[in-house]
Amino acid sequence: MSGTPAEPVRIRVGGTSEPYDVLVGTGLLGELAALIGTSARRVAILHPEALAATGEAVREDLAAQGYEAIAVQVPNAEDAKDVAVAAYCWSVLGQTGFTRSDVIVGIGGGATTDLAGFVAASWLRGVRWIAMPTTLLGMVDAAVGGKTGINTAEGKNLVGAFHPPAGVLADLATLESLPRNDYVSGLAEVIKAGFIADPVILDLIEADPEAARDPLGKDTAELITRAIRVKADVVSGDLKEAGRREILNYGHTLAHAIEKAERYKWRHGAAVSVGMVYAAELGRLAGRLDDATADRHRTVLAAVGLPLTYRGDAWPRLLETMRVDKKSRGDMLRFIVLDGLAKPVVLEAPDPTLLVAAYAEVSA
Ligand SMILES: NC(=O)c1ccc[n+]([C@@H]2O[C@H](COP(=O)([O-])OP(=O)(O)OC[C@H]3O[C@@H](n4cnc5c(N)ncnc54)[C@H](O)[C@@H]3O)[C@@H](O)[C@H]2O)c1
Ligand SMILES: O=C(O)C(=O)C[C@@H](O)[C@H](O)[C@H](O)COP(=O)(O)O
Ligand SMILES: [Zn+2]
């Protein structure tokens, strides 16, 4: 892969009693056994249907090293983040005699690693787990930071736990089989990292949007490592989202409501893209964000092919869903907006007319 460093880049994530590393590179399977360690006897490899061959290859590799390794296939994408799928995983672990010294490996996109982490957090009240993200979004965001969870009928990620992994192996070669639409969806979280903390990300994408859309592009490794550093820095200071971690939720208040309205058939990154345009408009209307930075959201997101609008008639339902967003306190809605580039702040209880006016700006 062009732009890929020969040696893996190692990014430390702290803020927990057991700091861990995110390794970014190629050919990282060889690192897995060392992370699993010698006290584990059994390893459960959770993978989506789309990665059945990869799951089996990892299983064979671990079995050859003496582990009792089992591959556990789960549905693709958001269908995996369901309590019935978690229950299926619990029953497999129970039947395998999985103990507290055993290890779960989640290999797949963010949906798979969110589920795998949640199963690890809940099984025997917590076993070790390792994330092997295979989507751009998983590498730069979902696999890092220990937020794990599943959806419920009422909304996105409403059940979960903070349960950091023992390590993250982000093998860039896995991105080559990812459908382009999924790769581009992951760029929304990369762009989010640019707006909230590292504007060089935006400069790189604007200078060559076609390269940004290409897993083999010249800037890919730099974009990925920059976005991971933003996430690692934030979660290292605030694992349980007592404060600053909320900035990682930029664009997500509306995004999660859109995902629910679409019955989770929109990709998360696409919804985050619309959600960031909305948050930018809200910031602008609240008198916080300058016009140029608000407009920049539309230009950079459109340049890589991400959506900017959503159905106008959906507003009442979206507003209702936003009320159960995890940032809400009682009846008070809270949003992350920008006071300027890389200056995220919390906007509490915005005037309802501002919410409607901002939605008019993203209505299709
Ligand atoms: N925990 C967190 O901090 C956090 C952060 C951001 C997002 N998320 C969650 O992540 C999820 C979205 O993750 P995503 O965008 O990675 O989507 P995803 O996990 O749904 O994966 C998208 C599709 O790609 C397939 N796939 C995965 N890797 C592949 C590969 N290498 N080749 C071919 N197909 C592959 C999957 O099976 C799926 O069908 C959402 O549920 C979101 O809420 C969590
Ligand atoms: O890690 C975080 O914190 C984030 O908010 C990152 C988001 O990109 C991610 O989608 C997260 O799962 C959203 O969390 P939630 O608490 O709003 O469900
Ligand atoms: Zn997200």
Which residue's CA is the nearest one to ligand 2's atom 18?
157
343 is in an annotated binding site: no
End-to-end CA distance of the chain: 38
Average pLDDT, the chain: 97
Question: Is position 189 annotated as part of the catalytic site?
Answer: yes
**Ligand found nearest the CA of 155:** 2
pLDDT at 2: 46
* CB-CB contact of 191 with 202 (8 Å): yes
Largest CA distance in the chain: 63
DSSP-based three-state secondary structure for 340:
coil
Tell me the per-residue pLDDT of 268-298, one tens digit each, with 9 for 90 and over: 999 999 999 999 999 999 999 999 999 999 9
pLDDT at 6: 66
Residue 147 CA to ligand 2 center (angstroms) comes to 7
96 is in an annotated binding site: no
Question: Is position 241 annotated as part of the catalytic site?
Answer: yes
Tell me the per-residue pLDDT of 167-200, one tens digit each, with 9 for 90 and over: 999 999 999 999 999 999 999 999 999 999 999 9
C-alpha–C-alpha distance, residues 329 and 346, integer Å: 12
Q: Which atom of ligand 1 is nearest to the CA of 148?
A: 1
What is the dihedral angle through the alpha carbons of 186, 190, 191, 193, rounded to the nearest 10 degrees? 140
Bridge partners (DSSP) of residue 168 are 22, 131
C-alpha–C-alpha distance, residues 308 and 275, integer Å: 8
Mutate to test the pocket of ligand 2, among 231, 248, 324, 336 (most ligand atoms within 8 A of CB): 248
Residue 249 CA to ligand 2 center (angstroms) comes to 5
CA 295, 299, 301: angle at the middle one, nearest 5? 115
**Ligand found nearest the CA of 136:** 1
Residue spans of the chain under pLDDT 70: 1-6
Which residue's CA is the nearest one to ligand 2's atom 3?
248
Residue 182 CA to ligand 1 center (angstroms) comes to 8
pLDDT at 1: 47
pLDDT at 34: 97
What domains does the chain contain, in order, with CATH numbers?
A: 9-177 (3.40.50.1970), 180-214+217-362 (1.20.1090.10)
Q: Which positions ≥6 away from 319 have C-beta within 8 Å? A: 257, 355
DSSP secondary structure string, 76-131? SGGGGSSHHHHHHHHHHHHHHT--TT-EEEEEESHHHHHHHHHHHHHGGG--EEEE
C-alpha–C-alpha distance, residues 103 and 35, integer Å: 10
268 is in an annotated binding site: yes
Q: Count of alpha carbons within 13 Å of 99, Cβ hemisphere only?
A: 6
110 is in an annotated binding site: yes
* CB-CB contact of 92 with 104 (8 Å): no
pLDDT at 186: 98
